Amino acid sequence: MSNILELNNITKIFNKDTVNEATVFNNFNLTVEEGEFVSIVGSNGSGKTTLLNIISGNIPIEYGSVILKGNDITKQPEYIRARRIGRVFQDPSKGTANTMTIAENLALAENKGNPYGLSRGLNKKKIEEYRELVRTLNLGLEDKINVEVGSLSGGQRQALTLLMATMTPIDLLLLDEHTAALDPKTSQDIMDLTNRIVTEKHITTLMVTHNLRFAVEYGSRLMMFNKGTAVIDKAGEDKQKLVVDDLLKTFNEISIECGN
């Protein structure tokens, strides 16, 4: 398999040249192979979300390079990277336009990066296409295609966000604690949906999660971060042998060292 993502010698410093200066990554390197589903865990401040922000272009870096599918995107702005990188956040409302209908949201997602008009995109044929698309979520949303997204539950919105993030061909999917704001049953449902979409579409995925069980049970590779360093990096059979207790032991050891 070829590498789809390469982070080379990444250095990220927050509040540089102030009393609050903090180095999160120092000459950090990471490669992710095409089709990998990487679960990322770690305590608060370990660099998990910062990593996703660097990849997506949400924050700049001091040094290093970000290579996506062989192309150097280090200086690309976030909105350009978003054409090839999908992202789902913890807050279900962040991935959708709440005052627009499901159909209008799907039209936005389908035309990501292209000039278009909603009136042209939402003819009867398109509405039926979108109805069939949301039917695959098994949430009954096909009967709410013209309902404003803001009236949906958090789980329904997160499922819709997942669908929207993967509607068009993308090179990479970033999941940032995307089940954390949901109740346990809904979290499990969204995780199962995530696994189905990622598997069926063969999407290279990085998932940040605090749920150690999800990290163990899903994905092909698991990484645990501490102070911008991967203290655990297991893939394939080594990853399959991991159990939650193993992660919890290492996690607690790190927390004690950090004084948490």
Task: Give the pLDDT score at 132.
Answer: 94
Task: Give the pLDDT score at 1.
Answer: 66
Buried (b) or exposed (e) across 78-100, using 16+ Cβ within 10 A? eeebbebbbbbbbbbbebbeeeb
Nearest to 205 by CA among 6, 84, 32, 69: 32
Residue 218 · residue 195 · CB < 8 Å? yes
Determine the Cα–Cα distance for residues 103 and 110; give it in Å rounded to an integer: 10
Given its phi and psi angles, is residue 15 left (phi above 0), alpha (psi -120 to 50 degrees) or beta? left
Alpha helices in 166-202 (DSSP H): 184-201
The pTM is what? 0.92
Residue 222 · residue 234 · CB < 8 Å? yes
Task: Give the pLDDT score at 259.
Answer: 45
Within 13 Å of residue 190, how many CA atoms lie on the same side as its CB?
29
Task: Give the pLDDT score at 260.
Answer: 47
Alpha helices in 166-235 (DSSP H): 184-201, 212-217
- Token pair, residue 237, equals 């059979």
Task: Give the pLDDT score at 149.
Answer: 95
- Token pair, residue 190, equals 């969204």
Task: Give the pLDDT score at 125.
Answer: 86
Per-residue pLDDT reduced to its tens digit, 16-67? 999 999 999 999 999 999 999 999 999 888 899 999 999 999 999 999 999 9
DSSP for 37-76, written as a single string: EEEEEE-TTSSHHHHHHHHHTSS--SEEEEEETTEE-TT-
Residue 8 · residue 65 · CB < 8 Å? yes
- Token pair, residue 36, equals 């990998």
Q: Which residues of the chain have pLDDT under 70?
A: 1, 113-122, 255-260
